[in-house]
């Protein structure tokens, strides 16, 4: 309904603007070439007309006075904040020359290609990196690569496919689809779904399911809106989720309430798993986790006895000690209860139509860039030779190993970084100071972003301004439907899309000629796998589900022979079954069965440290109005969450003599940051939670202040080098120790 605007453009939201992982259908209202409003599209099956605060604030984000709208080159020292506006030609020429020089002298692997979180950037950045010839694709500082990749890896190993909670998101008619049924029980495992669309899952689908009868079991150290409405709340000590999973498996197996038919027909290694879980009786798990054993038993029984039920899990699972093992155990919970690819269970999720935007598997990388190239590049990929799982699953650098390599120069020095929409110092990296010191030494750094932030300010030699989601063409196949992003207005200033920038750079740097003249050709080429193209999808309202019978559509594909390359029924694993005893883990030198490992820093494993730092710190608490370290400069959003807030239990706060609203130091052996206390009974006694990614764009961006990142970034208190045995998971994002003291002025 255009009341005063010239036109309404339908599009798909993903990435800069709203910032997030979701694929919301939107209406972009345009007047005189400017976006005046962004609203939800009721005809889009993903969000059904709704939109989150970040999506609704896009106009304020796009036209923010601080947005960088021209290419810049640094003219002072790094961190001095002295920039000179340059042309795109000069920027491209400078980068081309530098990158070619580095490749000639030191090899292409000396340049790392750094992205932030999983958004449309994964497509263009890998495209550029492979064109240039570097294998080093990385989320710098993401300790243990702890954001979805550990869970994806565990699922790949266990069942050869990825699963997500079935909220009817793979069906056109959504909740009205006759073949769909809501999960009877939903386990929300370490996530606040209301805060966003984690891992591409629209959080409020959980509420939609609850309205249709789904009941909740919630595993969370905090009391939340969801725990208030849960039938069972397991309020465990942070970091002990692996023990909960093992305890629940113990109950379900020993009480014989698993799906016997599914297990005998489709699972491998049940007896071995049965033997292993005997080490985790509920009373022992209760001692480890602090959760009463009757609640663990109750949760296990409700989940197992009510089919279909499903698990919705969050990033904390990745960040647990041995995150790939915790994820494996949770995968087993839905597997032995037969909740795989069934309506209302954990449905298999595949990229719509088999189209790749952002490569989620090694196979997709191979399909796009050729087995030979990927194999050759793997030889020098950082961390791939240290960890078989890192080498054989996807194409990422192992970030903890990268940091060591940047510091030591061994086995080869890292010379330059291409950092695209990633705030490493001010958000993503554990131990921010160590990363700052390591990256400051690089010979050459390019940042592609929309705003200055602590990372661009500290490191960039060249700043390339990127566009928001309303100013570009893009496409999305994570998971479904297949969608396109339509350009609604011309770019603000001289900004360009990430795809356009990377295609131009790829043409200049490629060792083999690039076959695409422009981004549209590239998009259409990728969409060929879906038997469609950009214009066709645009004409359909920007989205389409795969046709009936397509292997990317649910349900029960393991029965129909739609999961394996050979077309036989079963799962795409070495045994063709869901591997409760993992052959792939075994091949990678890992324990084939799940187990529990205590966090490295905890009251149990480091009692001496606990005397000095008697509180458990868990970081990464999500805000519904920010996406990671973004959006702090957007008034409509910042008004709703103005300060970095640490949540402290009321009784714990009384012991510390801390009152609600007071500023405090959170401190441990690695550093000290300032947060405002929120004293609340929702916090577990003895546990404090802090959000990540806080910096203050309204303060001085120049060093040493760097937008106050050293004062408020909780990652000044976390560390690297705790990765799991697989190379994935581990970290202390979710469980370390700290103390809290009042700031006396």
Smallest gap, in angstroms, from Cβ of residue 742 to other proteins? 23
Counting contacts by CB under 8 A, is residue 187 touching other proteins? no
Out of 204, 332, 564, 670, the only residue in the binding site for other proteins (CB under 8 A) is 204
Closer to other proteins by CB, 231 or 559: give it.
Answer: 231
Closer to other proteins by CB, 563 or 625: give it.
Answer: 625
Smallest gap, in angstroms, from Cβ of residue 637 to other proteins? 7
Phi, psi of 434, rounded to the nearest 5 degrees: -65, -40
SS (H, E, C) 690-702: ECCCCCCCCCCCC
Tell me, what DSSP letter sits at residue 426?
Answer: I
Pattern 374-413, binding to other proteins, x per CB under 8 A?
A: ----------------------------------------
Out of 244, 403, 637, 687, the only residue in the binding site for other proteins (CB under 8 A) is 637
Helix (H, G, I), strand (E, B), or coil: what is residue 593? coil
Counting contacts by CB under 8 A, is residue 40 touching other proteins? yes
Counting contacts by CB under 8 A, is residue 316 touching other proteins? no
How far apart (Å, rounded) are the C-alpha atoms in residues 550 and 464?
A: 40
Counting contacts by CB under 8 A, is residue 5 touching other proteins? no
Q: Where do we find the tokens 């500082």?
A: 141
Counting contacts by CB under 8 A, is residue 218 touching other proteins? no
Of the ranges 34-42, 75-83, 95-103, 474-482, which one interacts with other proteins (CB under 8 A)? Answer: 34-42
The sign of the torsion formed by the CA atoms of 446, 448, 452, 455 equals negative
Closer to other proteins by CB, 130 or 626: give it.
Answer: 626
How far apart (Å, rounded) are the C-alpha atoms in residues 704 and 692?
A: 20
Smallest gap, in angstroms, from Cβ of residue 221 to other proteins? 12
Helix axes 122-132, 498-509, angle to 10 degrees: 10
How far apart (Å, rounded) are the C-alpha atoms in residues 438 and 400?
A: 12
Contacting other proteins within 586-625 (CB under 8 A):
624-625
Query: Which H helix or E strand runs over 74?
Result: strand 72-74
Closer to other proteins by CB, 30 or 277: give it.
Answer: 30
Closer to other proteins by CB, 207 or 257: give it.
Answer: 207
Helix (H, G, I), strand (E, B), or coil: what is residue 83? strand
DSSP string, 589-656: TS-SS------SSSTTT-HHHHHHS-EEEEE----TT--TT--TT-HHHHTTS-S-EEEE-HHHHHHH
SS (H, E, C) 501-536: HHHHHHHHHCCCCCCCCCHHHHHHHHHHHHCCCHHH
Helix (H, G, I), strand (E, B), or coil: what is residue 7? strand
Helix (H, G, I), strand (E, B), or coil: what is residue 306? coil
Out of 371, 640, 654, 743, the only residue in the binding site for other proteins (CB under 8 A) is 640
Smallest gap, in angstroms, from Cβ of residue 181 to other proteins? 20
- Is the peptide bond prior to 234 cis by the omega test (within 30 degrees of 0)? no
Counting contacts by CB under 8 A, is residue 51 touching other proteins? yes
Counting contacts by CB under 8 A, is residue 38 touching other proteins? yes
Out of 31, 50, 64, 674, the only residue in the binding site for other proteins (CB under 8 A) is 50
Measure the CA angle with vertex 294, ends 291 and 297; round to 5°: 100
Out of 6, 76, 82, 225, the only residue in the binding site for other proteins (CB under 8 A) is 225
Radius of gyration of the chain (CA): 24
Distances (CA, A) of 564 to 506, 553, 576: 34, 14, 8
Smallest gap, in angstroms, from Cβ of residue 407 to other proteins? 41
What the block records as the tokens of 358 is 């952002």
Pattern 475-514, binding to other proteins, x per CB under 8 A?
A: ----------------------------------------
The sign of the torsion formed by the CA atoms of 651, 655, 659, 663 equals negative
Closer to other proteins by CB, 76 or 681: give it.
Answer: 681
End-to-end CA distance of the chain: 55
What is the bridge-based pairing of β-strands 72-74 and 462-465?
A: antiparallel
Counting contacts by CB under 8 A, is residue 224 touching other proteins? yes
Out of 72, 223, 460, 616, the only residue in the binding site for other proteins (CB under 8 A) is 223
Q: Are 417 and 114 in contact (CB under 8 A)?
A: yes
Smallest gap, in angstroms, from Cβ of residue 347 to other proteins? 22
Q: Are 144 and 150 in contact (CB under 8 A)?
A: yes
Out of 8, 31, 34, 39, the only residue in the binding site for other proteins (CB under 8 A) is 39
Smallest gap, in angstroms, from Cβ of residue 693 to other proteins? 18
Phi, psi of 538, rounded to the nearest 5 degrees: -60, -45
Of the ranges 35-43, 82-90, 266-274, 394-402, which one interacts with other proteins (CB under 8 A)? Answer: 35-43
Helix (H, G, I), strand (E, B), or coil: what is residue 462? strand
Of the ranges 54-62, 259-267, 277-285, 332-340, which one interacts with other proteins (CB under 8 A)? Answer: 54-62
Counting contacts by CB under 8 A, is residue 207 touching other proteins? yes
Counting contacts by CB under 8 A, is residue 233 touching other proteins? yes
* CA-based nearest residue to 380, from 344, 349, 417, 405: 405
DSSP string, 632-648: TT-HHHHTTS-S-EEEE
Smallest gap, in angstroms, from Cβ of residue 174 to other proteins? 13
Contacting other proteins within 55-114 (CB under 8 A):
56-57, 59-60
Smallest gap, in angstroms, from Cβ of residue 603 to other proteins? 23
Contacting other proteins within 679-698 (CB under 8 A):
680-682
Counting contacts by CB under 8 A, is residue 195 touching other proteins? yes
Interface residues toward other proteins, by CB under 8 A: 1, 3, 37-40, 42, 49-53, 56-57, 59-60, 194-195, 203-204, 207-208, 211, 223-225, 227-228, 233, 624-625, 635-637, 639-640, 680-682
């Amino acid at each position: 309904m255009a009341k005063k605007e010239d036109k309404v453009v339908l599009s798909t939201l993903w990435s800069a603007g709203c910032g997030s992982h979701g694929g919301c259908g939107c209406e972009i209202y345009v007047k005189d070439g400017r976006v005046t409003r962004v609203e939800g599209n009721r005809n889009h099956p993903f969000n059904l007309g709704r939109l989150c605060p970040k999506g609704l604030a896009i106009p304020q984000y796009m036209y923010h006075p601080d947005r960088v709208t021209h290419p810049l080159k640094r003219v002072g020292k790094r961190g001095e904040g002295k920039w000179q506006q340059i042309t795109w030609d000069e920027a491209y020429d400078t980068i081309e020359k530098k990158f070619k020089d580095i490749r000639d002298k030191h090899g292409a692997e000396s340049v790392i290609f750094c992205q932030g979180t999983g958004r449309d950037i994964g497509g263009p950045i890998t495209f550029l990196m492979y064109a240039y010839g570097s294998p080093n694709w990385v989320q710098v500082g993401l300790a243990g690569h702890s954001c979805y990749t550990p869970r994806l890896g565990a699922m790949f190993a266990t069942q050869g496919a990825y699963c997500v909670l079935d909220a009817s998101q793979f069906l056109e008619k959504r909740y009205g689809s006759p073949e769909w049924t809501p999960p009877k029980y939903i386990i929300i495992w370490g996530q606040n779904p209301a805060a966003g669309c984690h891992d591409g899952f629209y959080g409020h689908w959980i509420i939609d399911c609850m309205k249709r009868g789904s009941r909740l079991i919630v595993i969370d150290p905090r009391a939340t809106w969801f725990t208030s409405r849960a039938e069972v709340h397991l309020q465990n000590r942070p970091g002990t989720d692996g023990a909960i999973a093992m305890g629940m498996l113990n109950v379900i197996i020993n009480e014989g309430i698993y799906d016997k038919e599914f297990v005998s027909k489709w699972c491998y290694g049940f007896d071995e798993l049965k033997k292993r879980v005997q080490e985790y009786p509920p009373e022992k798990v209760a001692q480890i986790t602090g959760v009463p054993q009757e609640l663990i038993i109750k949760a296990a029984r409700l989940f197992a006895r009510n089919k279909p039920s499903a698990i919705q899990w969050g990033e904390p699972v990745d960040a647990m000690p041995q995150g790939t093992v915790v994820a494996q155990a949770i995968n087993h919970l839905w597997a032995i209860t037969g909740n795989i690819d069934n309506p209302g269970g954990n449905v298999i999720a595949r990229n719509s139509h088999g189209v790749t935007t952002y490569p989620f598997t090694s196979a997709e990388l191979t399909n796009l860039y050729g087995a030979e190239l990927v194999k050759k590049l793997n030889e020098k990929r950082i961390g791939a030779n240290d960890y078989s799982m890192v080498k054989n699953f996807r194409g990422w650098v192992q970030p903890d190993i990268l940091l060591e390599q940047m510091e030591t120069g061994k086995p080869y020095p890292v010379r330059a970084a291409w950092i695209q929409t990633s705030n490493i110092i001010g958000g993503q990296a554990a131990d921010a100071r160590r990363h700052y010191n390591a990256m400051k030494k690089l010979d050459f750094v390019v940042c592609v972003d929309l705003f200055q932030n602590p990372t661009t300010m500290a490191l960039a030699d060249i700043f390339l301004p990127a566009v928001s989601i309303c100013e570009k063409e893009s496409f999305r196949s994570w998971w479904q439907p297949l969608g396109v992003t339509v350009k609604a207005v011309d770019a603000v200033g001289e900004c360009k899309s990430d795809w356009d920038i990377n295609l131009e750079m790829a043409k200049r740097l490629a060792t083999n000629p690039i076959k695409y003249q422009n981004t549209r050709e590239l998009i259409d080429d990728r969409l060929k796998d879906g038997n469609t193209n950009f214009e066709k999808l645009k004409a359909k309202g920007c989205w389409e589900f795969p046709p009936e019978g397509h292997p990317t559509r649910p349900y029960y594909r393991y029965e129909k022979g739609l999961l394996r390359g050979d077309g036989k029924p079963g799962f795409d694993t070495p045994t063709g079954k869901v591997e409760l005893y993992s052959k792939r883990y075994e091949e990678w030198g890992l324990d084939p069965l799940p187990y529990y490992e205590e966090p490295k820093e905890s009251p149990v494993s480091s009692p001496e440290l606990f005397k000095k730092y008697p509180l458990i710190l868990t970081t990464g608490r999500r805000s519904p109005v920010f996406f990671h370290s973004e959006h702090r400069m957007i008034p409509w959003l910042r008004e709703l969450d103005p300060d970095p807030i640490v949540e402290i239990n009321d009784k714990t706060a009384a012991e510390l003599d801390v009152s609600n609203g007071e500023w405090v130091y959170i401190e441990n052996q690695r550093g000290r940051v300032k947060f405002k206390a929120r004293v609340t009974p929702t916090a577990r006694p003895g546990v404090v939670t802090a959000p990540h990614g806080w910096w203050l764009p309204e303060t001085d961006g120049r060093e040493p202040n760097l937008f106050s990142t050293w004062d408020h970034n909780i990652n000044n208190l976390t560390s690297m080098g705790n990765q799991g045995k697989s190379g994935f998971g581990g970290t202390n994002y979710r469980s370390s120790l700290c103390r809290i003291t009042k700031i006396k002025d």
